[in-house]
Structure 1
Amino acid sequence: MNIGFDAKRAFQNRTGLGNYSRTLIRSLAEIYPQHQYFLFAPKTKPLFRPPAHMPVILPGKTHHRLLKSVWRSRWMVSDLQQQQIDVFHGLSAELPFGVHRIPVKTAVTMHDLIFERYPGQYNPIDVYTYRKKARYACKHAHRVVAISEQTKQDLMLFYGVPADRISVCYQACDPAFAVLHPQEVISAMLRQYGLPEKYFLYVGSVIERKNLLRIAEALHQLKGRLNVPLVVVGDGGKYKETVKSYLRQKGLAQQVIWLNETASFTFKDLPALFQGALALLYPSLFEGFGIPILEALWSRTPVITSQGSCFLETGGDAALYVDPLSPEAIAGAMESVSENGTFVEGMRERGWMHAQNFTIPKCAAAVMNVYENL
């Protein structure tokens, strides 16, 4: 088969959608080399270096190069025909408009419908745009790929997508997280970035839904009892300033280390940063999957996350689940993982075992099964 991907996020996005795209493209090319893969992208960036001999299709005509976003959302259709694509996979909740009029089988991955659940946390124009693209993709894709059962239920609830048109294909994470580092390597990394030997870890955008403010409130509750600092990997805007203001008011500003601000942190050090942490704190209000949880499980790092949403799917019996609206519950969980070594060892082992449900071969096989049955 000639299999095409919307590869914009693979080249341009450093976080969730980009990681999903890069991991899936690489794993399919490695495990199923009998197929030919094509990457369709408005432009390339060094962030992603595709496997050798994988064609990258860029806007060719002058007006396509001038209006790259229109090429991706509409004009790309002619390139799919020109390259004789058999299956086209929209990796980030959209397909080019008009693709249903050409003889190409299509799949679209839907990561979440958070903008439908929490529209007030988005710009109204963005909600309109996301909704228009998602509805079109869900209506016309020959198969809708949901990254969790939670997302499948949301697709049925908000868009009325029939259950028999949805395939749940869990995602894997970068295999670098499964490589365990010796303590001396972790300690050297911590010294490089001026980090303490003991710390909690937060990984993700600093936005309201991710709930960092309640972690800050939990730190305040623990003040004087458990003064372990929090390392934050991620950035934000207005909500981040709200969190910072709270920390200053409570005398906790020095207890939170904003790694993006204090060092030129690189992805290659993220697995070691996970492995050195007491626990990942991930009390998000809602997610489609929660990839940092999986990264932590592969890293044998304890996870404190939320009740509800998709979190039980991702964390299984390994995570410690709390009410994300309760700073007291978050603080109590932080104390548990900092004080009970036997309990933590059990979390590490269960986490590693649960992570085996999300291996690259299993996740690639699920997606290839979708292609083969279109």
Structure 2
Amino acid sequence: MNIAFDAKRITNNLTGLGNYSRYIVGALAEYYPESNYLLCSPSLGNPHLYDTLLQNRSVSLHTPESGVGKMLGAWWRNYGLKSMLLKEEVDIYHGLSNELPLGLYREKRIGTVVTIHDLAFIRHPEFYKPIDRALYRRKYGASARAADHVIAVSEFTRRDIVDVFGVEPERVSVIYQGCSPRFAQMKPEEIAFARGHYQLPERYILFVGSIEERKNLKLVVQALSLLIDKNIHLIAVGKRTPYCDVVMAEARKRGVAARVRLMHAIPSEHLPGIYGGAEVFVYPSRFEGFGIPLIEALNAGVPVIGATGSCLEEAGGPNSLYTDPDDPDMLAEQIFSVIDDRRLAERMRHEGRIYAQRFNPKQIVRELRTVYENVLLTHD
């Protein structure tokens, strides 16, 4: 089977959808090597992000060949690549980041699959510009309705796709995400390296994710200021946005700025060691499609505190804790319970590792193969 992917995120995005896309292709290449995987990107982007993928004989990169395609990447991504897909006899095209090329909406010679990650722009419109909300609703909705099959990354997102976009339930499957095996295979020396290289404090709470309003890092700062234990710090790793200034202003207001550190552009290979040194991982995001950072923390053996209101309970499982995203007192109590009760923390570590095993790459590949093969049957 020849399977093509929208690889714009693979070649250009360091985190988020880029990590998801690289994980999916890498897992398929390892556990389903008999197929061919074509990465379709409008540019070469940053080769360092995907050079490991290209070491697999089954994976190849395809960029525009014509001058027009090279100059007009968005046009090529939507219309220009169809001729290449037909020439390469592609069986399935998988849009990994919420959309399909417009040129494939009615192309019955190629099966189409799209992954929808979340409908946060509808659930929390206050975090998005009106023009972006309108664009996402139109693009994502049209792609979901045009695709032969839709993959949702959580049951929560699946319900949204059916309810908001009107997609038939039988055309939507939930296939959870996973994370790099590096987190489960982390060694003590990686923790030691991270501590030394980044001069991390002896004891810290960890947050990993884009530092933006929706992720709600300010709540963690507020909870930190309420803790009796004044020796524990907060380390936040993620993309810098204007919300960082809001977070640090809150830290100064509450007298904990010296115990709050925001870190940006951290190489992915250093993340497991940073996770491993944390006493507790806190992720009080108001809305997520799934919550990969929770899976990373569980695999690293770190107790997890998420938030209620979206799908984080699916990612964190029954032995993690969940706070009201508007209640700093509740979060402070939960943090204190984890750092003060060793038996609770150890139980959360142990049960969390067991729960995280359901997101292993072999299971994800089995489920993806089933979707691809069922879609292919409709085009024979």
- For Structure 1 versus Structure 2, the TM-score category normalised by the shorter chain is over 0.9
Matches within 5 A, 1:21-170: 21-44=21-44, 45-46=46-47, 47-49=49-51, 50-51=53-54, 52-53=56-57, 54-102=59-107, 103-170=109-176
The one-letter amino acid paired with 2:144 is: C
Partner residue in 2 for 1:189: 194
Matches within 5 A, 1:204-283: 204-222=209-227, 224-260=228-264, 265-283=266-284
CA gap 1:30/1:185 in 2 versus in 1, 3 angstroms: closer
SS where residue 88 of structure 1 aligns?
strand
Q: Deviations over 1:277-329 (max 9, x none)?
A: 00111011110100000000111110011123111111112211111110001
Shift of 1:226: 3.8
Partner residue in 1 for 2:324: 323
TM-score by length of 2: 0.94
CA gap 1:80/1:127 in 2 versus in 1, 3 angstroms: same
* Cα distance between partner residues in 1 of 2:190 and 2:27: 28
* Cα distance between partner residues in 2 of 1:33 and 1:267: 25
Preserved CA contact (<8 Å) 1:10 1:48: yes
Aligned residues: 369
Q: Deviations over 1:62-87 (max 9, x none)?
A: 11110011111222222211211110
Shift of 1:105: 0.4
Structure 2 stretches lacking a partner, 5+ long: 376-380
Preserved CA contact (<8 Å) 1:293 1:315: yes
SS where residue 130 of structure 1 aligns?
helix
Partner residue in 1 for 2:15: 15
CA gap 1:315/1:7 in 2 versus in 1, 3 angstroms: same
* Cα distance between partner residues in 2 of 1:372 and 1:185: 40
* Cα distance between partner residues in 1 of 2:99 and 2:110: 15
Preserved CA contact (<8 Å) 1:23 1:173: yes
Shift of 1:240: 1.6
| Aligned-residue RMSD, C-alpha | 1.3
Preserved CA contact (<8 Å) 2:280 2:338: yes
Q: Deviations over 1:238-275 (max 9, x none)?
A: 32211111111222111101122xxx732111011111
SS where residue 176 of structure 1 aligns?
coil
Preserved CA contact (<8 Å) 1:226 1:335: no
Partner residue in 1 for 2:378: none
Partner residue in 1 for 2:287: 286
The one-letter amino acid paired with 1:239 is: Y
The answer to whether structure 1 residue 305 and structure 2 residue 311 are counterparts is no
* Cα distance between partner residues in 2 of 1:26 and 1:266: 18
Shift of 1:145: 0.3
Question: Identity of aligned pairs, percent?
Answer: 41
Partner residue in 2 for 1:176: 182
* Cα distance between partner residues in 2 of 1:241 and 1:155: 34
Shift of 1:197: 1.5
The one-letter amino acid paired with 2:81 is: M
* Cα distance between partner residues in 2 of 1:16 and 1:369: 25
* Cα distance between partner residues in 2 of 1:145 and 1:210: 24
* Cα distance between partner residues in 2 of 1:158 and 1:185: 44
TM-score by length of 1: 0.96
Preserved CA contact (<8 Å) 2:321 2:334: yes
SS where residue 235 of structure 2 aligns?
strand
* Cα distance between partner residues in 1 of 2:233 and 2:43: 40
* Cα distance between partner residues in 1 of 2:190 and 2:85: 46
Shift of 1:351: 0.4
